[in-house]
Amino acid sequence: MGIPSLLLAIAVSMAAFAASTPAWGAERIQLLDRIVAVVNEEVITQDELDRRLELVKKQLARQGTTLPESEALRRQILERLIMDRLQLQYARQTGLRIDDFQLDRAIAAIAEQNRMSLTQFREVLARDGVDYADFREEIRKEMILTRLREREIDSRITVSEGEVDNFLATQATQITGGEYAVSHILVRVPEQATSSEIQARRARAQEALAELKAGKPFPQVAAVYSDAPDALQGGFLGWRPLSRLPELFAEAVVKLKPGEVSELLRSPNGFHILRLEDRRGPGTPVQVTQTHVRHILVRPGETLSEDEARNRLLQLRERIVNGADFAELARLHSEDPSAPQGGDLGWVSPGDTVPAFERVMDSLAPGEVSEPVKTPLGWHLIQVLERRTGEMTQERERVLARQSIKARKADEAYEEWLRQLRDQAYVEVRLEG
């Protein structure tokens, strides 16, 4: 979920929760000391779980989802808290952080998205009962989780020209041959699971399937049974061409009619259930926007710290703003193979660069030079030279094919990475009942 779209999901939920939270009393303070889970060397308290439970209940109610049985929902939410905590721990251990400057820019973008000044935005939050400091930290956490996936998964996914050629030769019709709205339940199986553990997880997946066939709403069943990150959003994957779905899913979905549910599907990650919500034919031709961009790259290393690399680019940026030639500085200072061309990357299509680079590039106006940008490759100064938009027949097909392949591979890799993170951690659940 993009940062601007967090406003309703976070601010409204926080406001609703604030309005219904009783004053802190002796009983509530006592609950703070009750541990419901140990995650490596950290704990999750009953108070944290209760707060998240209230938020989720209000979110599900706003979505019109019938609330599942309370105990099952409580356990599902605890698992989500555990997975968030594991990812945040890993981010901290590996040096990933969102500083106040980045956070302030993100919040300013949220305010701008809602056509407000930052002062007006803060006033709206206060009027809705949302503590601004709490809101900032929620945004920081969401940004860390997003950047963590970008760094660990998205930036490492590569798509070769051969993969694109093969895709176009065998599956080209999947790009423009319509889209499928799909919902998904995953019952995860640990990597080193014993046969009895596998059977137990299969039985849980069969319970979920039986409830669906008995007529229970899919979002309600997903909220209780699914281990997927989108479980509390009803498991809805959105509209996707078949090429954006794992091959296992694509083969099942094409056999379903809207409203039908698949049988159990087995993958290395666990057991899956799919529901085809709807399908639609090819839409209007897709417009592709390309960006002519150049950059200067400085790589931190044994002799150059992260701060030194960033400061070096700040100095170069100041020189450029004061009239120095970007291309000449790129030839002298950039550590990218594009340095001899003055840092010129040519015309770049969506998905051609790592997400952190693309996100900043897309925010720049032609001629504008970015602040230093951190990506897995190092620190960059980015300048957009020009943009063009149009229907580019063969080129467009290759862009869409590359995006589809990359997105599918990234989704699969992320699920596997989460499973490994969970399996390798020490997790002790102390939830009563």
Using CA atoms, how far residue 352 sits from 1, 161, 333, 355, in Å, is 21, 12, 23, 9
Q: Are residues 280 and 293 in the same domain?
A: no
Cα 82 vs. chain centroid, distance in angstroms? 17
Q: Which range has the top average pLDDT, 69-83, 95-109, 336-350?
A: 336-350
Q: Are residues 252 and 210 in the same domain?
A: yes
**Is 168 inside any structural domain?**
no
Cβ-based neighbours of 197, under 8 Å, separated by 6 or more: 189, 190
Q: Are residues 147 and 208 in the same domain?
A: no
Pure H helices in 46-69 = 46-62
Cβ-based neighbours of 324, under 8 Å, separated by 6 or more: 316
Q: What is the identity of the amino acid at 342?
A: G
Residue 189 has pLDDT above 60, yes or no: yes
Q: How far apart are CA 378 and CA 17, in angstroms?
A: 41
List 276's β-bridge partners, or say none: 182
Contact yes or no for 277/219 (Cβ under 8 A) = no
Q: Are residues 208 and 181 in the same domain?
A: yes
Q: Are residues 184 and 140 in the same domain?
A: no
* 389 or 35, higher pLDDT: 35
Contact yes or no for 150/359 (Cβ under 8 A) = no
Res 396: pLDDT: 66
Contact yes or no for 401/393 (Cβ under 8 A) = no
Q: What is the mean pLDDT of residues 3-21?
A: 44
Confidence of residue 11 (pLDDT cuts 50, 70, 90): very low
Res 391: pLDDT: 61
Residue 376 has pLDDT above 50, yes or no: yes
Residue labelled with tokens 């925010």: 363
Residue 325 has pLDDT above 90, yes or no: yes
Q: Are residues 357 and 299 in the same domain?
A: yes
Res 305: pLDDT: 86
CATH of the domain at 202: 3.10.50.40
Q: Are residues 246 and 386 in the same domain?
A: no
For 166, what's the count of Cα atoms within 13 Å in the CB-facing half-sphere? 6
Number of domains in the chain: 3
Helix (H, G, I), strand (E, B) or coil at 365: coil
**Is 418 inside any structural domain?**
no
Helix (H, G, I), strand (E, B) or coil at 305: coil
Residue labelled with tokens 């050629």: 165
Residue 8 has pLDDT above 80, yes or no: no
Q: Which range has the top average pLDDT, 176-190, 209-223, 340-354?
A: 209-223
Q: Among residues of the chain, what percentage have pLDDT more than 70?
A: 85
Res 386: pLDDT: 94
Q: What angle do CA 22, 17, 33 make, to 5 degrees?
A: 60
pLDDT in tens, 59-80: 777 666 666 677 878 888 898 8
Q: Which range has the top average pLDDT, 156-170, 211-225, 320-334, 392-406?
A: 320-334
Helix (H, G, I), strand (E, B) or coil at 237: strand
**Is 411 inside any structural domain?**
no
Q: What is the mean pLDDT of residues 415-422?
A: 90
Residue 10 has pLDDT above 80, yes or no: no
Range of the domain at 17: 6-155
**Is 165 inside any structural domain?**
no
**Is 412 inside any structural domain?**
no
Q: What is the mean pLDDT of residues 21-45?
A: 68
Q: What is the mean pLDDT of residues 11-26?
A: 44
Percent of residues in the chain assigned helix, strand, coil, to nearest 5: 55, 20, 30
Own/partner pairs, 395-400, CB within 8 angstroms, 24+ separation: 395/288, 395/349, 396/286, 396/288, 397/168, 397/172, 397/175, 398/164, 398/168, 399/288, 399/349, 399/350, 399/351, 400/175, 400/286
Radius of gyration of the chain (CA): 24
Q: Which range has the top average pLDDT, 8-22, 64-78, 94-108?
A: 94-108
Residue 111 has pLDDT above 90, yes or no: no
Res 29: pLDDT: 45
Own/partner pairs, 324-333, CB within 8 angstroms, 24+ separation: 326/294, 326/296, 326/369, 326/383, 327/294, 329/296, 330/294, 330/295, 330/296, 333/296, 333/298
Q: Closest Cα partner for 315 from 369, 259, 236?
A: 369
pTM of structure: 0.60
Residue 276 has pLDDT above 80, yes or no: yes
Res 264: pLDDT: 94
Res 64: pLDDT: 67
Q: Are residues 29 and 141 in the same domain?
A: yes
User: What's the N-to-C CA distance of the chain in angstroms?
Assistant: 33
Q: Are residues 182 and 268 in the same domain?
A: yes
* Arithmetic mean of pLDDT over the chain: 82
Res 191: pLDDT: 80
Q: Is the backbone of residue 322 left (phi > 0), alpha (psi -120 to 50) or beta?
A: alpha
**Is 163 inside any structural domain?**
no
Q: Which helix (H) or strand (E) holds 133?
A: helix 132-152
Residue 9 has pLDDT above 60, yes or no: no
Confidence of residue 129 (pLDDT cuts 50, 70, 90): confident
